[in-house]
Amino acid sequence: MKTIFNSILLIVIVLVIGSIRLSNGEPPPSPPCKLYNAGAKCQLAGQPCENEGCIYGTHCFNGTCVKNTELNGKCNATLKDKEGNSLECGSLFGCANQKCTIEQYLENGDACTDSYQCLGTLECTGGKCTLKNNTCKDSNDCPYDHYCNEKNHSCTPELALGDNCTQKSQVRECRLGSRCLNGKCVAYFSLKEGDPCLWTEGITIFDLCDIELGLYCDGNGTKKCEKIPSSATNESVNCIGLGCNPFEKCYCVNGSSTTKGTCHPFTVVSLEDRTKLSLV
């Protein structure tokens, strides 16, 4: 159930940076959005759309936002969105045997009846989710605590904290909750003020420094964990097209403007900000 652990970790990280309801059109603000990402659309079921821009839980079909099909409802597996998810079943379910179904939830070695149940590229063979051709494509194909070794495409035990690792971020060789930093597996949010933290490919400024202490990785400057600066972008600045500082996000004014937006912090969010962003 590695993806579940991944999801939990992701949720924790997203919660930490306090932007869970407002990024990527994920869980819907309800009632319909008041504020959302600049440039995003927020069309409801029945309203017009152009391939995208429909609110979470709906999809764009033939120029109109349509409610997603429910679990066990009929679907057409050839209809997919940009991310390759079933268009009609949405991101939560897949379309298998012409029904919206929970798919890809069994891992390597789990008992199965059909391949759509198995994670990654695993196949249901002899009643078990099994590697195809005895090779893995990515870590979803491997049992818990294992990653897919890019070199020989075999499932290999993950490394422990402090073990030697390579810098390749796409290979999850360090165990869940840790990252490869300068050749060693380091736990997320474990570094203190002044610790070297140079971020590399796949590591963000918030991954490794202790964000509870208000730290981020100043990889462009001191290359150490530093306090997040408190200076905010002036509210009179229109951030659409201009952007905000790395600790803020640009949201459109009144949830409707596509030309005017203001910066809001997403790290240490004050009650005032939370109210403004309709998070409370």
Ligand X SMILES: *[C@@H]1O[C@H](CO)[C@@H](O)[C@H](O)[C@H]1NC(C)=O
| DSSP annotation of 116 | G
Selected binder of ligand X within 154, 200, 222, 278 (CB under 6 A): 154
255 Ramachandran zone, left/alpha/beta (phi>0; psi -120 to 50): left
The yes or no reply on residue 79 touching ligand X (CB under 6 A) is: yes
CA trace torsion 169, 173, 175, 179 (10° rounding): -30
135 or 167: whose CB is closer to ligand X? 135
Which range, of 44-52, 88-96, 100-108, 152-160, touches ligand X by CB under 6 A? Answer: 152-160
* Structure tokens given for 195: 């610790």
The yes or no reply on residue 231 touching ligand X (CB under 6 A) is: no
Selected binder of ligand X within 50, 78, 83, 212 (CB under 6 A): 78
Which range, of 17-25, 49-57, 145-153, 223-231, touches ligand X by CB under 6 A? Answer: 145-153
Q: E-strand spans in 62-197?
A: 64-67, 94-96, 99-101, 123-125, 128-130, 146-149, 154-157, 178-181, 184-187
What residues between 188 and 227 interact with ligand X by CB under 6 A?
205, 220
Evaluate whether 140 touches 2 at the Cβ level (below 8 Å).
Answer: yes
Question: Minimum distance from CB of 98 to ligand X (Å)?
Answer: 7
**Binding-site size, ligand X (CB under 6 A):** 19
Selected binder of ligand X within 30, 164, 222, 259 (CB under 6 A): 164
The yes or no reply on residue 97 touching ligand X (CB under 6 A) is: no
Looking at this protein, which amino acid is placed at residue 162?
A: G
CA trace torsion 183, 189, 195, 196 (10° rounding): 40
Selected binder of ligand X within 253, 267, 273, 279 (CB under 6 A): 253
SS3 (DSSP) at 240: coil
Question: Minimum distance from CB of 7 to ligand X (Å)?
Answer: 25
Residues 213 and 267: their CA atoms lie apart, in Å, by 11
Tell how strand 178-181 and strand 94-96 pair up: unpaired
Selected binder of ligand X within 50, 113, 126, 152 (CB under 6 A): 152
Residues of this chain that bind ligand X (CB under 6 A): 62, 76, 78-79, 133, 135, 149, 151-152, 154, 156, 164, 205, 220, 234, 236, 246, 253-254
